[in-house]
Structure 1
Amino acid sequence: MAFLNSLGGESQGVVPDDTAVAVIALALHVIQADGVVEDSENQTLEQVIRAYFNFSKGEFEQMLAVARKQEEDAVDLFRFTSRINRALDETQKAEFIGMLWQVVHADDNRNELEDHLVWRIAELIGVSGRDRIASRQAAEGRQSDEKSQ
């Protein structure tokens, strides 16, 4: 979680090629993969991003607007994964994949398209299969802990 704080916590406005925009754009891409975007996915995305980056609601909405536009214009994932590869170290990349799993599991419905997309993003940013699976299991564990409370 600390890695995302270090990327954007001091941000004063939106920089279109900011790493935070790439993070949000990839998360948007993942939650749209199954063709159904639930409110719970959008809420989890906002919650996770605002907590990680220490963004106000207004800052998050600005970043979301820029990320949404860039995600709509993108023809592939390279635009975003290359930013993440340049900005994050190995541990931070694994944490990012964990954040994607949190968003995927927000709607209580794991979809093979979302799974495949997270797998592909993990591969493109160099996160090992073991770390990807551990991140998924941690997100699943958090979700079931939250349900039991």
Structure 2
Amino acid sequence: MSDNLFDDPRLTAVGLFFEVHTGLNARFAAQFCKHGLSPVEFEVLMRLARSPGHQLRMTDLASQTSLSTSGVTRVVDRMERDAFITRRACPSDRRSSYAVITQSGLTKLEQILPGHLALIDEWFTGKLPADQLATFLDSLRTLRDAVNPGATAGSSSSEHVVVEV
């Protein structure tokens, strides 16, 4: 390691990660906007679509996204008005409720996903050979589990299912 703190490879690693994240977010946000969704609304729909029963408890949805519990409530309120999500009472805990994707929400995702997958392939996964991509995905899971252990909260039913967006 260099004696020059500004040349520390740890700073380079984090800087590169944020530059990639920012670039991908900009490309994805433009595409979501064309479909009338914000990036967080797309993330919520994807989390629900990929969860058992197409539903998550509101607290688990907050854990899996970058939103606070009150932030999830506001997003779900808005998406409920647009008929993309509905709420369902939790039968075992009256204080909890589930966010559930509706058929309209699934249809919206079906409209967006072909173009979104093309962008992912063009600007992300398609840039790496299969072996590098597999190693990279394993590394991302390791990092995600360390910094955000709640990221898969509520994503398992009787068997362990990992929900990644």
- What band does the TM-score fall into relative to the shorter chain? 0.3 to 0.5
- TM-score between the two structures when normalised by the length of structure 2: 0.35
- TM-score between the two structures when normalised by the length of structure 1: 0.37
Structure with higher strand content: 2
